Amino acid sequence: MFAAERSVIEPDLLEKGRVLIIDTDDESIDTLAQFLENEAYKFVVAKTDEEALSLYQSFNPELVIIGIVAGSIDGYKIAEKLTEISTQNFLPIIFITDLESEEVMKNCLSYSGTDVLNKPCNEDILKTRIKTYIRLARLEQENKTQQIEIESHNKKLKSSYDVAIDVFHKVIHSDVLDAPGIKYSISPISIFNGDLY
């Protein structure tokens, strides 16, 4: 059995990715853990929904893998809960199941699932899906960060503009323009450059 890594890990573009496994089947956990370790992913394992929520908040995974037939874990419900508390724009969730009914597939995708894979998982497909979804999650996070930076920059510009307008109005409506030696001209605001001569 692989020990779960529980330290808080900050996002790092140099690492391949962080994965949260939620399952109670030891054989399934060991198979996934071996695969993730071989592929150099960081991972933690949760066997209850309470542990899953706690590890999600401390480990900050970029992708979640859930076994939907997993003892006390309601895979659909925990997927919805993780999506609700997630601060990410996109939290990829892969359901892994040994059930092949259309209803199961439909439920997996309806309850916040990004993808569904049947056991036993083809390693090449699993490898591609994990790599692709983590890349998408990082791109979405980068886009969110850039939007926040743009909004912050726009607020600073607006603040500077408001200050400039306030100063301009105070100058225009004061006696300073009538002081000896000051020359000025008034032009439309569309071509105003802010300079006083």
How do 115-118 and 73-74 pair as beta strands? unpaired
pLDDT at 6 > cutoff 60 = no
Class of domain 18-146: alpha beta
pLDDT at 15 > cutoff 80 = no
Q: Where are the domains of the chain?
A: 18-146
pLDDT at site 98: 83
pLDDT at 157 > cutoff 50 = yes
Q: How many CA atoms lie within 13 A of 33 on its CB side?
A: 17
Q: Is 136 exposed, middle or buried (0-12, 13-18, 19+ CB in 10 A)?
A: middle
User: How many residues would you count in the chain?
Assistant: 197
pTM of the model: 0.69
Structure tokens at 45: 């394992």
pLDDT at site 70: 45
178 residue type, one letter: D
The per-residue pLDDT of the chain, averaged, comes to 80
pLDDT at site 131: 94
Nearby residues of 146 by Cβ (< 8 Å), 6 or more positions away: none
Q: CA 94 to CA 196: how far, in whole Å?
A: 63
Which residues sit opposite 118 in a β-bridge?
97
